[in-house]
Structure 1
Amino acid sequence: MNLKTEDLLLSNLGESAILCQFPEGALDLERQRRIWAMADSASALPAVKEVIPGMNNVVVVFDALSVANEAMAEILAAMWAEKRIKDCTGSTIEIPVVYGGREGEDLHEISARAGLTPEEFVSLHARGEYIVYALGSQPGFAYLGGLDPRLATPRRSVPRQRVDAGTVIIGGAQTAVQSKTSPSGWHMIGKTDVDFFDASKPAPALVSPGSRLRFIVKDLIL
Protein backbone atom coordinates (compact mmCIF):
# COMPACT_ATOMS: atom_id res chain seq x y z
CA MET A 1 0.00 0.00 0.00
CA ASN A 2 1.30 3.45 -0.97
CA LEU A 3 -0.84 6.52 -0.43
CA LYS A 4 0.27 10.09 -1.08
CA THR A 5 -1.43 13.19 0.25
CA GLU A 6 0.14 16.57 -0.47
CA ASP A 7 3.85 15.86 0.05
CA LEU A 8 3.30 13.09 2.62
CA LEU A 9 3.84 9.47 1.53
CA LEU A 10 2.24 6.67 3.56
CA SER A 11 3.54 3.12 3.13
CA ASN A 12 3.29 -0.20 4.98
CA LEU A 13 5.93 -1.42 7.40
CA GLY A 14 4.78 -5.02 7.58
CA GLU A 15 1.14 -5.79 8.40
CA SER A 16 0.69 -3.61 11.48
CA ALA A 17 2.66 -0.38 10.99
CA ILE A 18 2.56 2.56 8.61
CA LEU A 19 5.40 4.93 7.81
CA CYS A 20 4.39 8.52 7.03
CA GLN A 21 7.32 10.41 5.55
CA PHE A 22 8.54 13.25 3.37
CA PRO A 23 11.15 13.26 0.63
CA GLU A 24 14.67 14.01 1.78
CA GLY A 25 15.26 17.70 2.30
CA ALA A 26 16.18 20.47 4.69
CA LEU A 27 14.70 20.48 8.18
CA ASP A 28 11.42 22.37 8.36
CA LEU A 29 10.12 23.30 11.81
CA GLU A 30 6.58 24.07 10.62
CA ARG A 31 6.31 20.64 9.02
CA GLN A 32 7.80 18.99 12.08
CA ARG A 33 5.19 20.70 14.27
CA ARG A 34 2.52 19.12 12.07
CA ILE A 35 4.19 15.74 12.57
CA TRP A 36 4.06 16.18 16.36
CA ALA A 37 0.37 17.13 16.21
CA MET A 38 -0.42 14.15 13.98
CA ALA A 39 1.49 11.86 16.38
CA ASP A 40 -0.60 13.11 19.32
CA SER A 41 -3.85 12.54 17.42
CA ALA A 42 -2.81 9.07 16.27
CA SER A 43 -1.84 8.10 19.83
CA ALA A 44 -5.45 8.66 20.92
CA LEU A 45 -6.87 6.13 18.44
CA PRO A 46 -8.05 2.90 20.17
CA ALA A 47 -6.38 0.65 17.59
CA VAL A 48 -2.98 2.36 17.84
CA LYS A 49 -0.35 0.66 20.00
CA GLU A 50 2.62 2.99 19.53
CA VAL A 51 3.55 6.18 17.68
CA ILE A 52 7.19 7.00 16.94
CA PRO A 53 7.84 10.53 15.61
CA GLY A 54 11.10 10.95 13.72
CA MET A 55 12.80 13.56 11.57
CA ASN A 56 10.48 14.29 8.64
CA ASN A 57 8.49 11.15 9.45
CA VAL A 58 6.31 9.31 11.93
CA VAL A 59 5.65 5.57 12.35
CA VAL A 60 2.26 4.39 13.59
CA VAL A 61 2.00 0.85 14.99
CA PHE A 62 -1.55 -0.50 15.24
CA ASP A 63 -3.65 -3.61 15.87
CA ALA A 64 -4.10 -5.12 12.41
CA LEU A 65 -6.89 -7.36 13.72
CA SER A 66 -9.10 -4.38 14.51
CA VAL A 67 -8.35 -2.15 11.53
CA ALA A 68 -7.01 -2.83 8.02
CA ASN A 69 -3.87 -1.13 6.68
CA GLU A 70 -5.78 0.78 4.02
CA ALA A 71 -8.33 2.05 6.54
CA MET A 72 -5.62 3.20 8.96
CA ALA A 73 -3.79 4.94 6.11
CA GLU A 74 -6.95 6.83 5.19
CA ILE A 75 -7.40 7.91 8.82
CA LEU A 76 -3.81 9.17 9.02
CA ALA A 77 -4.11 10.97 5.69
CA ALA A 78 -7.24 12.73 6.95
CA MET A 79 -5.38 13.77 10.11
CA TRP A 80 -2.58 15.25 8.04
CA ALA A 81 -5.07 17.15 5.89
CA GLU A 82 -6.32 18.95 9.01
CA LYS A 83 -3.01 20.87 9.06
CA ARG A 84 -2.92 21.12 12.82
CA ILE A 85 0.34 22.10 14.48
CA LYS A 86 1.79 21.55 17.93
CA ASP A 87 3.48 24.49 19.61
CA CYS A 88 6.90 24.22 21.21
CA THR A 89 6.21 24.92 24.85
CA GLY A 90 8.24 25.12 28.03
CA SER A 91 11.35 26.99 29.08
CA THR A 92 14.71 26.81 27.33
CA ILE A 93 17.14 24.29 28.86
CA GLU A 94 20.64 25.72 29.22
CA ILE A 95 23.54 23.36 28.53
CA PRO A 96 26.94 24.61 29.87
CA VAL A 97 29.76 23.44 27.61
CA VAL A 98 33.54 23.36 27.83
CA TYR A 99 34.48 23.75 24.17
CA GLY A 100 37.72 22.38 22.70
CA GLY A 101 40.33 20.44 24.62
CA ARG A 102 40.53 16.65 24.61
CA GLU A 103 36.74 16.26 24.64
CA GLY A 104 36.40 18.65 21.71
CA GLU A 105 39.43 17.69 19.69
CA ASP A 106 37.78 18.30 16.30
CA LEU A 107 37.04 21.96 17.00
CA HIS A 108 40.17 23.37 15.33
CA GLU A 109 39.82 21.19 12.24
CA ILE A 110 36.17 21.89 11.51
CA SER A 111 36.55 25.58 12.39
CA ALA A 112 39.28 25.89 9.75
CA ARG A 113 37.11 23.98 7.28
CA ALA A 114 34.34 26.53 7.83
CA GLY A 115 36.77 29.44 7.39
CA LEU A 116 36.33 30.48 11.02
CA THR A 117 38.52 30.78 14.07
CA PRO A 118 37.66 28.43 16.95
CA GLU A 119 36.35 31.44 18.88
CA GLU A 120 34.05 32.45 16.01
CA PHE A 121 32.85 28.87 15.58
CA VAL A 122 32.01 28.52 19.29
CA SER A 123 30.29 31.91 19.35
CA LEU A 124 28.01 30.91 16.48
CA HIS A 125 27.27 27.52 18.01
CA ALA A 126 26.37 29.03 21.39
CA ARG A 127 24.30 31.77 19.77
CA GLY A 128 21.82 29.32 18.24
CA GLU A 129 18.42 28.42 19.63
CA TYR A 130 17.88 24.70 19.16
CA ILE A 131 14.69 22.64 19.06
CA VAL A 132 14.49 18.88 19.56
CA TYR A 133 12.98 17.43 16.38
CA ALA A 134 13.09 13.80 17.50
CA LEU A 135 14.72 11.31 19.85
CA GLY A 136 16.56 8.30 18.49
CA SER A 137 19.85 6.53 17.82
CA GLN A 138 20.33 5.87 21.56
CA PRO A 139 18.27 6.55 24.72
CA GLY A 140 17.85 10.29 25.22
CA PHE A 141 19.72 11.29 22.06
CA ALA A 142 18.13 14.45 20.67
CA TYR A 143 18.26 15.40 16.99
CA LEU A 144 18.34 19.18 17.05
CA GLY A 145 17.27 21.74 14.49
CA GLY A 146 18.72 25.24 14.52
CA LEU A 147 22.42 24.83 13.67
CA ASP A 148 23.86 27.81 11.80
CA PRO A 149 24.49 26.57 8.20
CA ARG A 150 28.04 27.93 8.38
CA LEU A 151 28.82 25.27 11.01
CA ALA A 152 27.49 22.29 9.04
CA THR A 153 30.20 19.63 8.63
CA PRO A 154 30.05 16.24 6.88
CA ARG A 155 30.37 13.31 9.26
CA ARG A 156 33.74 11.63 9.73
CA SER A 157 34.71 9.08 7.09
CA VAL A 158 35.87 6.75 9.89
CA PRO A 159 33.72 6.75 13.06
CA ARG A 160 35.39 6.78 16.44
CA GLN A 161 34.98 3.62 18.48
CA ARG A 162 34.20 5.58 21.65
CA VAL A 163 32.63 8.98 22.24
CA ASP A 164 31.75 9.68 25.87
CA ALA A 165 28.31 10.64 27.08
CA GLY A 166 28.01 14.41 27.36
CA THR A 167 30.20 15.10 24.32
CA VAL A 168 28.81 17.91 22.16
CA ILE A 169 28.98 16.86 18.53
CA ILE A 170 28.27 18.05 15.00
CA GLY A 171 27.31 15.82 12.07
CA GLY A 172 26.05 17.22 8.79
CA ALA A 173 23.56 20.04 9.36
CA GLN A 174 22.90 19.10 12.98
CA THR A 175 24.43 19.34 16.41
CA ALA A 176 23.66 17.09 19.38
CA VAL A 177 24.87 15.80 22.74
CA GLN A 178 25.99 12.19 23.07
CA SER A 179 23.55 10.76 25.62
CA LYS A 180 25.35 7.43 26.14
CA THR A 181 28.97 6.43 25.59
CA SER A 182 29.16 4.67 22.22
CA PRO A 183 30.80 4.83 18.77
CA SER A 184 30.02 7.92 16.68
CA GLY A 185 30.91 9.41 13.32
CA TRP A 186 30.04 12.95 14.41
CA HIS A 187 32.71 15.57 15.20
CA MET A 188 33.56 16.34 18.83
CA ILE A 189 33.58 20.04 19.74
CA GLY A 190 33.12 20.08 23.53
CA LYS A 191 31.73 18.46 26.66
CA THR A 192 28.87 19.09 29.10
CA ASP A 193 28.16 17.59 32.51
CA VAL A 194 24.40 17.64 31.83
CA ASP A 195 22.99 14.10 31.80
CA PHE A 196 20.60 13.59 28.87
CA PHE A 197 19.45 10.16 30.03
CA ASP A 198 19.08 8.78 33.56
CA ALA A 199 17.25 5.45 33.77
CA SER A 200 16.64 5.92 37.51
CA LYS A 201 14.35 8.91 36.96
CA PRO A 202 10.58 8.66 36.30
CA ALA A 203 11.20 10.52 33.03
CA PRO A 204 14.64 9.18 32.00
CA ALA A 205 15.17 11.44 28.98
CA LEU A 206 16.02 15.07 29.72
CA VAL A 207 14.27 16.34 26.60
CA SER A 208 11.40 15.40 24.30
CA PRO A 209 10.31 16.51 20.80
CA GLY A 210 9.66 20.25 20.94
CA SER A 211 12.07 20.97 23.81
CA ARG A 212 14.28 24.03 23.39
CA LEU A 213 18.00 24.08 24.16
CA ARG A 214 20.71 26.72 24.33
CA PHE A 215 24.43 25.98 24.70
CA ILE A 216 26.31 28.18 27.16
CA VAL A 217 30.09 28.72 26.88
CA LYS A 218 31.49 27.60 30.22
CA ASP A 219 35.06 27.59 28.95
CA LEU A 220 37.07 27.39 25.73
CA ILE A 221 40.26 25.35 25.69
CA LEU A 222 42.45 26.13 22.67
Structure 2
Amino acid sequence: MYNKVKFLNAGDSALVMEFGNEIAKDINAKIATVVENLKKKKVDGILDILPTYRSILINYNPMKISHSEIVDILTELSKLNSSNQSDDVRLIEIPTIYGGEYGLDIKNVAEHAGMSEKEVVKIHTGTDYLVYMMGFMPGFTYLGGLDERIATPRLKSPRLKIEAGSVGIAANQTGMYPLESPGGWQLIGRTPLKLYDDTKEPPVFIQAGDYIRYVSIDQKQYDKIKNEVENGTYKVSIKKVKRGDLHE
Protein backbone atom coordinates (compact mmCIF):
# COMPACT_ATOMS: atom_id res chain seq x y z
CA MET A 1 0.00 0.00 0.00
CA TYR A 2 1.25 3.49 -0.81
CA ASN A 3 2.04 5.82 2.08
CA LYS A 4 -0.21 8.32 0.34
CA VAL A 5 -2.96 7.60 -2.19
CA LYS A 6 -2.44 8.82 -5.74
CA PHE A 7 -5.01 10.61 -7.88
CA LEU A 8 -4.77 10.11 -11.63
CA ASN A 9 -6.77 11.84 -14.35
CA ALA A 10 -8.87 9.60 -16.59
CA GLY A 11 -10.19 12.05 -19.15
CA ASP A 12 -12.24 15.15 -18.37
CA SER A 13 -14.96 13.42 -16.36
CA ALA A 14 -13.26 10.62 -14.43
CA LEU A 15 -10.41 10.06 -12.03
CA VAL A 16 -8.59 7.12 -10.50
CA MET A 17 -7.78 6.86 -6.81
CA GLU A 18 -4.82 4.47 -6.52
CA PHE A 19 -3.91 2.81 -3.22
CA GLY A 20 -0.97 0.57 -4.14
CA ASN A 21 0.66 -1.58 -6.80
CA GLU A 22 -0.19 -5.10 -5.62
CA ILE A 23 -3.10 -7.42 -4.91
CA ALA A 24 -3.47 -7.41 -1.15
CA LYS A 25 -6.27 -7.72 1.41
CA ASP A 26 -5.30 -4.57 3.29
CA ILE A 27 -5.54 -2.57 0.07
CA ASN A 28 -8.89 -4.16 -0.75
CA ALA A 29 -10.16 -3.37 2.76
CA LYS A 30 -9.19 0.28 2.33
CA ILE A 31 -10.90 0.42 -1.06
CA ALA A 32 -14.05 -1.17 0.37
CA THR A 33 -14.13 1.37 3.22
CA VAL A 34 -13.82 4.35 0.86
CA VAL A 35 -16.41 2.96 -1.58
CA GLU A 36 -18.89 2.19 1.19
CA ASN A 37 -18.61 5.65 2.73
CA LEU A 38 -18.59 7.45 -0.61
CA LYS A 39 -21.86 5.73 -1.54
CA LYS A 40 -23.35 6.75 1.80
CA LYS A 41 -22.53 10.38 1.08
CA LYS A 42 -24.59 10.33 -2.15
CA VAL A 43 -22.50 13.13 -3.63
CA ASP A 44 -24.39 15.02 -6.33
CA GLY A 45 -22.44 14.74 -9.58
CA ILE A 46 -20.75 11.40 -8.97
CA LEU A 47 -22.14 9.03 -11.58
CA ASP A 48 -20.37 5.74 -11.00
CA ILE A 49 -17.90 4.17 -8.56
CA LEU A 50 -15.89 1.21 -9.83
CA PRO A 51 -13.50 -0.59 -7.43
CA THR A 52 -10.58 -2.62 -8.82
CA TYR A 53 -7.79 -4.66 -7.22
CA ARG A 54 -5.82 -1.59 -6.14
CA SER A 55 -7.78 1.48 -7.16
CA ILE A 56 -11.18 3.12 -7.60
CA LEU A 57 -12.42 4.68 -10.82
CA ILE A 58 -14.89 7.52 -10.23
CA ASN A 59 -16.97 8.86 -13.12
CA TYR A 60 -18.50 12.27 -12.50
CA ASN A 61 -20.38 15.14 -14.12
CA PRO A 62 -17.97 18.12 -14.25
CA MET A 63 -20.95 20.47 -14.60
CA LYS A 64 -22.03 19.51 -11.06
CA ILE A 65 -18.78 18.79 -9.23
CA SER A 66 -15.16 19.63 -9.92
CA HIS A 67 -12.12 17.38 -9.97
CA SER A 68 -10.63 19.17 -6.97
CA GLU A 69 -13.84 18.84 -4.95
CA ILE A 70 -13.88 15.07 -5.50
CA VAL A 71 -10.20 14.79 -4.57
CA ASP A 72 -10.90 16.66 -1.31
CA ILE A 73 -13.77 14.29 -0.47
CA LEU A 74 -11.75 11.18 -1.30
CA THR A 75 -8.71 12.39 0.61
CA GLU A 76 -10.82 12.71 3.76
CA LEU A 77 -12.36 9.27 3.23
CA SER A 78 -8.91 7.74 2.77
CA LYS A 79 -8.14 8.66 6.38
CA LEU A 80 -10.90 6.37 7.71
CA ASN A 81 -9.78 3.25 9.52
CA SER A 82 -10.50 0.17 7.39
CA SER A 83 -10.46 -1.99 10.51
CA ASN A 84 -13.90 -0.56 11.26
CA GLN A 85 -15.41 -2.57 8.40
CA SER A 86 -18.56 -4.47 9.22
CA ASP A 87 -17.90 -7.95 10.55
CA ASP A 88 -20.78 -9.25 8.42
CA VAL A 89 -20.13 -10.24 4.81
CA ARG A 90 -22.16 -11.87 2.06
CA LEU A 91 -21.23 -15.48 1.27
CA ILE A 92 -22.52 -16.81 -2.05
CA GLU A 93 -22.51 -20.52 -2.81
CA ILE A 94 -21.76 -21.46 -6.42
CA PRO A 95 -22.72 -25.06 -7.29
CA THR A 96 -20.08 -26.34 -9.71
CA ILE A 97 -19.54 -29.54 -11.66
CA TYR A 98 -15.83 -30.27 -12.05
CA GLY A 99 -13.84 -32.01 -14.78
CA GLY A 100 -14.98 -33.88 -17.87
CA GLU A 101 -16.52 -31.79 -20.65
CA TYR A 102 -17.12 -28.97 -18.13
CA GLY A 103 -13.53 -28.69 -16.91
CA LEU A 104 -11.36 -29.46 -19.91
CA ASP A 105 -8.15 -28.31 -18.23
CA ILE A 106 -8.46 -29.85 -14.79
CA LYS A 107 -5.98 -32.52 -15.87
CA ASN A 108 -3.46 -29.77 -16.70
CA VAL A 109 -3.98 -28.20 -13.29
CA ALA A 110 -3.61 -31.54 -11.52
CA GLU A 111 -0.42 -32.43 -13.43
CA HIS A 112 1.06 -28.98 -12.81
CA ALA A 113 0.29 -29.35 -9.09
CA GLY A 114 1.48 -32.96 -8.92
CA MET A 115 -1.80 -34.22 -7.50
CA SER A 116 -5.02 -35.96 -8.51
CA GLU A 117 -8.05 -34.19 -10.00
CA LYS A 118 -10.02 -35.05 -6.85
CA GLU A 119 -7.41 -33.29 -4.75
CA VAL A 120 -7.66 -30.21 -6.99
CA VAL A 121 -11.44 -30.13 -6.46
CA LYS A 122 -11.06 -30.58 -2.71
CA ILE A 123 -8.61 -27.68 -2.51
CA HIS A 124 -10.63 -25.44 -4.81
CA THR A 125 -13.84 -25.96 -2.81
CA GLY A 126 -12.04 -25.63 0.52
CA THR A 127 -11.55 -21.86 0.36
CA ASP A 128 -13.97 -18.93 0.51
CA TYR A 129 -12.81 -16.46 -2.13
CA LEU A 130 -12.97 -12.69 -1.76
CA VAL A 131 -14.39 -10.91 -4.81
CA TYR A 132 -11.70 -8.29 -5.33
CA MET A 133 -13.31 -6.81 -8.42
CA MET A 134 -15.72 -7.41 -11.29
CA GLY A 135 -13.89 -7.68 -14.56
CA PHE A 136 -13.58 -7.34 -18.28
CA MET A 137 -17.20 -8.26 -19.04
CA PRO A 138 -20.42 -7.85 -16.98
CA GLY A 139 -20.36 -10.31 -14.10
CA PHE A 140 -16.80 -11.62 -14.55
CA THR A 141 -15.36 -12.24 -11.08
CA TYR A 142 -11.74 -11.78 -10.07
CA LEU A 143 -11.31 -13.74 -6.86
CA GLY A 144 -8.48 -13.68 -4.36
CA GLY A 145 -7.32 -16.46 -2.07
CA LEU A 146 -6.54 -19.30 -4.48
CA ASP A 147 -4.37 -21.93 -2.81
CA GLU A 148 -0.86 -21.68 -4.26
CA ARG A 149 -0.75 -25.46 -4.63
CA ILE A 150 -3.18 -25.31 -7.56
CA ALA A 151 -2.05 -22.00 -9.09
CA THR A 152 -1.52 -22.70 -12.80
CA PRO A 153 -0.39 -20.46 -15.71
CA ARG A 154 -2.88 -19.43 -18.38
CA LEU A 155 -3.20 -21.47 -21.55
CA LYS A 156 -0.48 -20.72 -24.10
CA SER A 157 -3.16 -20.41 -26.79
CA PRO A 158 -6.49 -18.89 -25.66
CA ARG A 159 -9.72 -20.57 -26.72
CA LEU A 160 -12.03 -18.76 -29.12
CA LYS A 161 -15.10 -19.97 -27.23
CA ILE A 162 -15.64 -20.60 -23.53
CA GLU A 163 -19.10 -21.53 -22.30
CA ALA A 164 -20.96 -19.24 -19.92
CA GLY A 165 -20.61 -20.38 -16.32
CA SER A 166 -17.14 -21.83 -16.82
CA VAL A 167 -14.90 -21.77 -13.74
CA GLY A 168 -11.19 -21.33 -14.35
CA ILE A 169 -7.74 -20.68 -12.97
CA ALA A 170 -5.14 -18.23 -14.28
CA ALA A 171 -1.90 -18.07 -12.30
CA ASN A 172 -2.92 -17.32 -8.67
CA GLN A 173 -6.47 -16.23 -9.55
CA THR A 174 -9.71 -18.10 -9.97
CA GLY A 175 -12.94 -16.81 -11.46
CA MET A 176 -16.00 -17.44 -13.63
CA TYR A 177 -17.08 -16.55 -17.16
CA PRO A 178 -20.61 -15.06 -17.03
CA LEU A 179 -21.04 -15.08 -20.80
CA GLU A 180 -19.75 -17.08 -23.74
CA SER A 181 -16.46 -15.53 -24.80
CA PRO A 182 -12.85 -16.18 -25.82
CA GLY A 183 -10.40 -16.69 -22.96
CA GLY A 184 -7.16 -18.21 -21.81
CA TRP A 185 -7.95 -19.45 -18.30
CA GLN A 186 -7.50 -23.10 -17.37
CA LEU A 187 -11.06 -24.46 -17.18
CA ILE A 188 -11.74 -26.77 -14.23
CA GLY A 189 -15.55 -26.77 -14.02
CA ARG A 190 -18.84 -25.04 -14.75
CA THR A 191 -21.75 -23.68 -12.77
CA PRO A 192 -25.34 -23.98 -14.02
CA LEU A 193 -26.14 -20.56 -12.51
CA LYS A 194 -26.73 -17.50 -14.69
CA LEU A 195 -24.01 -15.13 -13.59
CA TYR A 196 -25.37 -12.40 -15.85
CA ASP A 197 -29.07 -12.02 -16.56
CA ASP A 198 -30.21 -8.84 -18.34
CA THR A 199 -33.85 -9.60 -17.49
CA LYS A 200 -33.13 -8.95 -13.80
CA GLU A 201 -32.25 -5.85 -11.82
CA PRO A 202 -29.45 -5.87 -11.02
CA PRO A 203 -28.37 -8.24 -13.82
CA VAL A 204 -25.39 -9.45 -11.73
CA PHE A 205 -26.02 -10.80 -8.21
CA ILE A 206 -22.33 -10.85 -7.19
CA GLN A 207 -20.62 -7.68 -5.98
CA ALA A 208 -17.06 -6.69 -5.14
CA GLY A 209 -16.54 -7.43 -1.45
CA ASP A 210 -18.66 -10.60 -1.47
CA TYR A 211 -17.18 -14.02 -0.78
CA ILE A 212 -17.64 -17.01 -3.08
CA ARG A 213 -17.79 -20.62 -1.91
CA TYR A 214 -17.71 -23.29 -4.62
CA VAL A 215 -19.79 -26.39 -3.92
CA SER A 216 -19.03 -29.55 -5.91
CA ILE A 217 -22.06 -31.16 -7.57
CA ASP A 218 -22.62 -34.17 -9.84
CA GLN A 219 -24.31 -34.38 -13.25
CA LYS A 220 -27.76 -35.10 -11.82
CA GLN A 221 -27.57 -32.07 -9.52
CA TYR A 222 -26.22 -29.93 -12.36
CA ASP A 223 -29.12 -30.83 -14.65
CA LYS A 224 -31.67 -30.21 -11.87
CA ILE A 225 -30.26 -26.81 -10.97
CA LYS A 226 -29.92 -25.79 -14.62
CA ASN A 227 -33.58 -26.67 -15.22
CA GLU A 228 -34.65 -24.66 -12.15
CA VAL A 229 -32.54 -21.70 -13.28
CA GLU A 230 -34.15 -21.77 -16.71
CA ASN A 231 -37.61 -21.96 -15.12
CA GLY A 232 -36.83 -19.12 -12.73
CA THR A 233 -37.40 -21.25 -9.63
CA TYR A 234 -33.82 -21.63 -8.39
CA LYS A 235 -32.79 -19.49 -5.43
CA VAL A 236 -29.10 -18.68 -5.15
CA SER A 237 -27.71 -19.26 -1.66
CA ILE A 238 -26.61 -15.84 -0.36
CA LYS A 239 -25.99 -15.70 3.37
CA LYS A 240 -24.71 -13.10 5.82
CA VAL A 241 -21.83 -14.59 7.79
CA LYS A 242 -19.16 -13.37 10.17
CA ARG A 243 -15.69 -12.86 8.73
CA GLY A 244 -14.31 -15.21 11.34
CA ASP A 245 -16.50 -18.05 10.02
CA LEU A 246 -15.05 -17.91 6.52
CA HIS A 247 -12.68 -20.58 5.20
CA GLU A 248 -9.69 -18.51 4.11
Q: TM-score range by the shorter chain?
A: 0.7 to 0.9
Q: CA RMSD in A?
A: 2.1
Q: State the distance in 1 between where 2:116 and 2:29 align.
A: 35
Partner of residue 6, structure 2: 9
Q: CA deviation at 1:218?
A: 1.4
Which amino acid is the alignment partner of residue 5 of structure 2?
L
Seen in structure 2, the aligned counterparts of structure 1 residues 88 and 162 have a Cα distance that, compared at 3 Å, is: farther
Seen in structure 2, the aligned counterparts of structure 1 residues 116 and 146 have a Cα distance that, compared at 3 Å, is: same
Partner of residue 231, structure 2: none
| Matched-pair contact (CA < 8 Å) for 2:102–2:190 | yes
Q: State the distance in 2 between where 1:14 and 1:91 align.
A: 34
| Matched-pair contact (CA < 8 Å) for 1:195–1:206 | no
Match of 2:30 among 21, 28, 34: 34
Q: Is 1:59 the equivalent of 2:57?
A: yes
Q: CA deviation at 1:7?
A: 4.5
Unaligned runs of 5+ in 2: 220-248
| Matched-pair contact (CA < 8 Å) for 2:2–2:19 | no
Partner of residue 20, structure 1: 17
Task: Provide the TM-score with structure 1 as the length reference.
Answer: 0.88
Deviates more, 1:136-145 or 1:176-185: 136-145
Q: Count the aligned residue pairs.
A: 216
Q: State the distance in 2 between where 1:206 and 1:113 align.
A: 33
Seen in structure 2, the aligned counterparts of structure 1 residues 5 and 129 have a Cα distance that, compared at 3 Å, is: closer
Match of 1:46 among 44, 47, 59: 44
Q: CA deviation at 1:98?
A: 1.4
Q: State the distance in 1 between where 2:171 and 2:4 align.
A: 24
Q: State the distance in 2 between where 1:88 and 1:198 align.
A: 30
4+ runs deviating over 4 angstroms: none
Partner of residue 212, structure 1: 211
| Matched-pair contact (CA < 8 Å) for 2:162–2:182 | yes
Q: How does 1:41-120 map to 2 (within 5 A)?
A: 41-43=37-39, 44-84=42-82, 86-87=85-86, 89-120=88-119
Provide Cα deviations, 1:17-75, integer angstroms capped at 9, x if missing partner. 110124432x3223212212212333322231211111111111222234432342232
Q: CA deviation at 1:182?
A: 0.5
Q: How does 1:170-189 map to 2 (within 5 A)?
A: 170-189=169-188
Q: State the distance in 2 between where 1:207 and 1:92 align.
A: 10
Provide Cα deviations, 1:60-115, integer angstroms capped at 9, x if missing partner. 12222344323422321221122345436455222222111022111111211122
Partner of residue 167, structure 1: 166
Q: State the distance in 2 between where 1:17 and 1:203 align.
A: 23
Unaligned runs of 5+ in 1: none
Partner of residue 134, structure 1: 133
Provide Cα deviations, 1:126-165, integer angstroms capped at 9, x if missing partner. 1011121211211111111121122212222221100001
Which amino acid is the alignment partner of residue 33 of structure 1?
A
Task: Provide the TM-score with structure 2 as the length reference.
Answer: 0.79
Deviates more, 1:112-121 or 1:182-191: 112-121
Q: State the distance in 2 between where 1:41 and 1:137 align.
A: 25
